[in-house]
Amino acid sequence: MKTRIYIVDDHPLIRRGLAGLISAESDMEVCGQAEDAGKATAEIMKLRPDLVIVDISLKGNSGLELIKNIKSFDSKIHVLVLSMHDESVYALRVLKAGARAYIMKNDLIDKVIEAVRRIGKGHLYVSEKVASQMLNQLMTGKPAEDSEGSAVHGLSDRELEVVDLIGNGLPTREIAAKLHISIKTVETHRSHIKRKLELENATQLVQFCVRWVEKRSSPLSPVASPLEDVAISVTSLPEPAPVASLPLPPPEKPANGRASAKSAGRAKASARSA
């Protein structure tokens, strides 16, 4: 019997690349796809796949919320997280939420298939870096000192979502609508974040969030994700150039002046909601 896999990613090329990769395996099949958590939740409840591949950043609810929802209605469904976000920040969070693997999108594509097989045997699949962090937390109860995520380690999953949204320039009202919570609850989260990060006022909070988002958005690799290369090879025209010669360009990185203007714009938009 084939392992039935459902893909959740808001990037069409990633979904297409994963589908092609999985379909090439004789013992695996893709039973559905979605670009947002809302559609994914409804279809996963109906289809009951063996495994779900989830991206952290989705339209609507976050991938973390989707993982928790999946595990709440069927704990037997395995979850593999495939993300561009740095593993030092999110890997331990998704594992605590119920995921069985965390893979960076710029890792080798064969890791996806290897992870699926290991999960099917009841194992976790993480990098050596994450395994070391897990052992460190088990022994000390604290994140590794050199962990990039140590600054936000004490934040809850919801508070980290709020940090991301503030950093992207969303005012309080829009954050509340996006997360389906009240304005008062968002304000409470903002207060808790300031206290935990030892920030004195709303301006410092916005500045921290903007810097955080810009740091998380920096390209992890100068070339395209290997999974995007797979998608290109699947959809290319006859007699294409080798896939390796067709990397997608890295995310646009504005000049310093434009970056400063963008940061200032985000800070101004979010400060108005403080």
Q: What does the DSSP assignment read for 140-163?
A: HSS--TT-TTGGGTTS-HHHHHHH
Six-digit token pair at 9? Answer: 């990613």
pLDDT value for 217 = 58
3-state secondary structure of 54: strand
pTM of the complete model: 0.67
In the prediction, which pLDDT does 29 show? 96
User: 67-99 burial, b if ≥16 CB within 10 A, otherwise e?
Assistant: bbbbbeeeeebbbbbbbbbbbbbbbbbbbebbb
d(CA 133, CA 87): 10
Residue 22's alpha-carbon distances to 4, 112, 162, 170, 175, in angstroms, are: 10, 9, 34, 37, 36
Q: How far apart are CA 39 and CA 17, in angstroms?
A: 20
Helix 256-271 vs helix 202-217: crossing angle, to nearest 10: 140
Q: Mean pLDDT by 10-residue block, N- to C-terminus, for the chain (274 residues)?
A: 93 91 94 91 95 82 84 94 74 88 76 92 84 72 54 84 89 89 94 93 92 66 50 44 44 50 55 54
- CB-count exposure of residue 273 (10 Å: 0-12, 13-18, 19+): buried
Cα 246 from Cα 225, distance rounded (Å): 11
Query: What pLDDT score was predicted for residue 221?
Result: 40
